[in-house]
Chains A and B, each alone.
Chain A
């Protein structure tokens, strides 16, 4: 797996290297700035960091089309110089040798022994400077995301040159959100450096901003207001500052809540996927499948194995894994039902023990066959990263997709149970087994199919889970008790019960966590459920009528 990750990184860097290569060819030397640019690059071999700082500044101000590439390579640590001639080169190192090319002309210089070149070292100060300079250059990028990121980077450390950049570009920039960042930056600068009047007007703009730098600057500003007694101007500034900080805090608090809800809903979705199969089998057969958690685990391992078999199709692996995991775990479920649970009909407690035995065997089987260690599953490109709503709220894509997936599964299940013949039979057996049997429903086959369906859904949940955590033999154990709680809390016989149960527990968990810590949150919720079943012993959505008492 680690080799595989290395391979990925290597592919990526080769790809980007190829890109910069093609950029090099387009160089067209024409103006005087060209010579400044070249001198500055050659100067990078200097030992002094202050000198380097000046040269970096020069490279950035030269506005050469190549400047951005050079600075980026410098930041990534790919810029070297030949020890003999001090020629600056861009190098790609392997074990002993380096593939180098001239940094200015871009001409290929072939392979050279590693020891003959030396890296252009940078320190944290230079790194910071590089980031800002790269950001400034990137403000010209045609790509909106690049521009936005660049503007945010400059905003973090606003100074005079940044201010000039922002004011210069304010009229050119078409995108509203980037204009807003620039305005925030300008206001931030004038708050830091302006007179009290200017500060006052800046605060009005800043009070709408959610960037952490803004809040920090404002709080610092508030603390620095001193003097006794305060002048009326300062008095006013102080009040405005306090009001705006309060406003920002209020907004931040609100977004924090939203984020909590988002995390809660995503946890709820995982619980929903894990528990819904359990609830259906419990509703139909009255047995609890203790091996249900291991179905999750098998599903997660299916993803892992598919990625091992097809290392080139990581992007599609979850999509491929979902149907395969469903079929595989459903088959395992049907086999378990036909071979063991069938013989324990009418003895739910013994079934519980037998399925627990199965879960032990499955866990140990995975430990023996694959490994007792946790395995990392690669997340495809389109599922990593996050959707940035605003500076205070970012929704990660993997959780977003899991929420969507669980909703899709829920809708699919509802259609299956409400609109198909199989669903009708399942509901009939859930409500009254003997009567259903009398009406000619093959209850034993319904049992087997339901068990398979429940296990299959757990398998799909495992695929989803593999995108959130590492995959290991104990994966199922971590989620199974929470899933039981969802079933107990939500009740059986109605999908809405599972849905509300899962969401309530998910959100409650994430809400309590920051207040009490993760463990105490779990304990509190367990105690709550024990108290809750005092009022409703059969969960929120219990079956009503004659079927309810058995």
Chain B
């Protein structure tokens, strides 16, 4: 019964989706309960640090979903998704900056600290209105959406594909990084935006706010997953995958492939922007290093290690790689880049289907081995 409703179709009709949905809901219930209700001396208690950490992973997972949507379903390897993520984050950061009000170091009610420091006398026009939550919410989607629309429109219209497109997306995020590093660009330069106090009047350091943000992240991830699944299961989704597999053929059948690509690309950017907006209040800082090309490539590797084109694989990959990163950067930071580099090579060469495809891959390999054994035996028999 539930299986056939819309929600069932989106979230429950295969094993991966069911596990993901279950885990998301379980996390959203258990983690806040363990953090808020269970006393801190109990071994079931979850520290606020862990709540924030897992909340961060949830945002990364949503980001990985958006990467998988364009890479796994549309066949575009975007090396610039960090730009959409960071733009969403900056929109949220600007709102949080304005919420500081006169509690900053310089106590200026209008201007954020870094502007006072730079001797600016008034708020730049693009900061106007960011003290309003609805406008911020709009900008979280508009900023990455417009960038993706303009960029995608230019790129897809001229049929830039494959490696060329990847490089251009990388150049895009690189250019933005350079620009945001500039002090006079008006986004805090090198230091970015930080030192946030409250969101919607709730103290950001309070456990309740942290847990609320955590639940919001889990909900956003589930919502993002449902949206991606909805697209993937629709007729549009079939066309998307057709473009991935044989773009010219789709074009010759009379479809405007560039419109479909543009639509998917923009949706993906919106999801990435949302992930960024949820990420910033939890980690408490946004700076231009989020635009760095290596960050964007890391996102791709989350998807690759989880398994591209499955959506739940992307979520799994984001959790696995980031958990590994947390462990290794604490344990032996210099080893982490070796491991990350090794993952890049190993996954692309040996695990083209990622973790979720590992079982099937191993099974086919063994069965192929046995069948090739048979073949060999057969051929020797013939001799």
Contact = CB atoms under 8 A, between A and B. Distances in A.
Interface stretch (B90-98, B174-182, B190-198, B259-267): B174-182
Nearest to A349: B77
Contact of A523 (B175, B293, B337, B347): B175
Contact of A533 (B160, B293, B337, B345): B160
Nearest to B161: A537
Interface in A278-320: 282, 286-288
Contact of A357 (B162, B340, B352): B340
B158 interface: yes
A340 interface: yes
In this complex, the interface size class of chain A, counting residues with CB under 8 Å from chain B, is 35 or more
A527 to B, nearest CB: 7
A354 B304 CA distance: 11
Interface in B34-85: 77
B318 to A, nearest CB: 16
A543 to B, nearest CB: 13
B175 A526 contact: yes
B362 interface: no
Contact of A353 (B157, B181, B344): B344
A340 B345 contact: yes
A361 B178 contact: no
Contact of A526 (B172, B181, B347): B172
A439 to B, nearest CB: 26
Interface string A352-365: 11101111110111
A274 to B, nearest CB: 14
Contact of B163 (A286, A344, A481, A520): A286
Contacts of B172: 526, 530
Interface string B151-181: 1001101111011101110111011001101
A351 B347 CA distance: 11
Contacts of A356: 297, 344
A512 B194 CA distance: 33
A357 B341 contact: yes
A484 B171 CA distance: 9
B164 A488 contact: yes
Contacts of A522: 175, 178
A350 interface: yes
A534 interface: yes
Contacts of A367: 334
Given A353-B304, A367-B334, A519-B179, A481 B170 contact: yes
A364 B349 contact: no
Contact of A343 (B159, B343, B349): B349
A266 to B, nearest CB: 22
A485 to B, nearest CB: 6
A368 interface: yes
B168 A349 contact: no
A522 B178 CA distance: 8
B345 A354 contact: yes
A43 interface: no
B205 interface: no
Contacts of B348: 344, 347, 350-351, 353-354, 357
A529 interface: yes
A531 interface: yes
Given A519-B178, A530-B172, A537-B160, A353 B293 contact: no
Interface residues of B, number: 42
A413 B301 CA distance: 36
B338 interface: yes
A37 B209 CA distance: 87
Contacts of B179: 519-520, 523
Query: Which of B293, B337, B343, B352 gathers the greatest number of chain A CB atoms within 10 Å?
Result: B337
A530 B167 contact: no
B154 A363 contact: no
Main secondary structure of the interface of A (DSSP, over half): helix
A171 B319 CA distance: 85
A356 B352 CA distance: 16
B342 interface: yes
A451 to B, nearest CB: 15
A352 B337 CA distance: 17
A352 B341 contact: no
A519 B182 CA distance: 8
B184 to A, nearest CB: 9
A348 interface: yes
Contacts of B300: 353
A358 B341 contact: yes
Interface in A421-469: none
Interface string B126-165: 0000000000000000000000000100110111101110
Contact of B154 (A343, A348, A361, A530): A530
Nearest to B176: A523
A349 B162 contact: yes
B157 A534 contact: yes
Given A353-B304, A357-B348, A367-B334, A484 B155 contact: no
B345 A288 contact: no
Interface string A510-533: 000000000110110011011101
Interface string B303-325: 01000000000000000000000
Contacts of B154: 530-531, 534
A534 B158 contact: yes
Contacts of B294: 360
Nearest to A485: B171
Contacts of B170: 481, 484
Given A519-B181, A537-B160, A361 B171 contact: no
A484 B172 CA distance: 12
B57 to A, nearest CB: 22
Given A361-B342, A534-B154, A534-B158, A353 B164 contact: no
Contacts of B155: 530, 533
Nearest to B248: A549
Contacts of A359: 341
B370 to A, nearest CB: 23
A105 B334 CA distance: 63
Contact of A349 (B163, B337, B342, B343): B163
A519 B178 CA distance: 6
Interface string A103-117: 000000000000000
A62 B304 CA distance: 83
Contacts of B293: 481
A361 B158 contact: no
A352 to B, nearest CB: 6
Interface string A318-351: 0000000000000000000000100110011111
9 contacts: A349-B77, A351-B348, A358-B345, A360-B294, A364-B334, A367-B334, A519-B181, A534-B157, A534-B158
Interface of A: 282, 286-288, 340, 343-344, 347-354, 356-361, 363-365, 367-368, 481, 484-485, 487-488, 519-520, 522-523, 526-527, 529-531, 533-535, 537-538
Given A353-B347, A363-B337, A530-B154, 5 more contacts: A365-B338, A367-B334, A484-B167, A485-B171, A526-B172
In order of increasing CB-CB distance, the 5 nearest A-B pairs are A357-B344, A360-B341, A361-B341, A364-B337, A357-B341
